[in-house]
Amino acid sequence: MNNHVMGYPLKQYACQVSAIAPLSENTYQIDLLAPDDASLSYHAGQHLQLELNPEQEAGMQSLSYTIANACKPDSPQRLQLIIHKNSEFSGEIIKALGSLCERNERARVTLPLGKAYLQTRLDQPHVLVAAGSGIAKIKCIIEEIVNRKPDADVTIYWSNRGVNDFYLLDFFQRLKSLYKTITFIPVLESKSPGWAGRSGYLYEVIQQDFASLEHTKMYLCGSPGMVYGTMDQLKSKGLKEENCYSDVFEYAPRLPQSEG
């Protein structure tokens, strides 16, 4: 394993599970605290590996989670994760973390990992695109952007299947009201009674909003199908692949197109 990821050494920490709070019916925010003498170093948009034993007979497992909070000097030990209880296994993970919290035991965490972190010049327009749980990464990136350049030109799109899945709506609405150059657009996958906002495929909504994406930097978080599909559809608006960043490029790289 490469011991240095993008300039920061890969380190292991024994972290306290300091809080578990529901964000929605099936979504939980997990707060971890590294030891007092630790000073965490990671880029906004990177992820960590959590060593956990959610199914006793299976033994320790390495679980990958996006870090949902930017690295801040006033709270250098804090890590935030967002975990969805969308399966029996994820339910066991939340239960195991709750047990560690109650017993005041620590979880082993390794970071930082991932190449699709915030690395672009903030004097250029940015579009941040998330489907479902991909919003954790976008939350971290936008926190870092406003720390560095409060007047950055940023448009955020977050797509979900159901109205109740927008569990960070207050966070993004507050950002939008604090920073006048930030636009936040929640998108429902299909029209729904009582939903007054935008609906449809992410690429369709973005196409409606931009005349040109030629000089835009785009961070995309979601399934490989969503990421590659959105990029392909937006080429007609001038979006360049070299201006796009996604974890998908690492874990599900596209096969080279054969010339025909």
Q: For 190-239, how does the pLDDT look when each residue is reduced to its tens digit (9 = 90+)? A: 998 889 999 999 999 999 999 999 999 999 999 999 999 999 999 999 99
Residue 260 has pLDDT above 50, yes or no: no
Q: Which residue has the tokens 């019916």?
A: 25
Cβ–Cβ under 8 Å, residues 138 and 128 = yes
pLDDT of residue 227: 98
Pair of tokens at residue 197: 């906002």
- 6 falls in which pLDDT band (50, 70, 90)? low
pLDDT of residue 73: 78
- Residue 56 C-alpha from the chain's centroid: 29
Residue 4 has pLDDT above 50, yes or no: no
Cα separation, 130 vs 135, in Å, equals: 5
pLDDT of residue 63: 96
Cβ–Cβ under 8 Å, residues 64 and 90 = no
Residue 3 has pLDDT above 50, yes or no: no
Three-state DSSP class for residue 28 = strand
Residue 57 has pLDDT above 90, yes or no: no
This prediction has a pTM of 0.93
pLDDT of residue 132: 95
Cβ–Cβ under 8 Å, residues 238 and 213 = yes
Cβ–Cβ under 8 Å, residues 42 and 8 = yes
Quote the mean pLDDT of the chain: 93
Three-state DSSP class for residue 138 = helix
Residues 6 or more apart whose Cβ sits within 8 Å of residue 107: 14, 15, 17, 32, 50, 51, 52, 97, 100
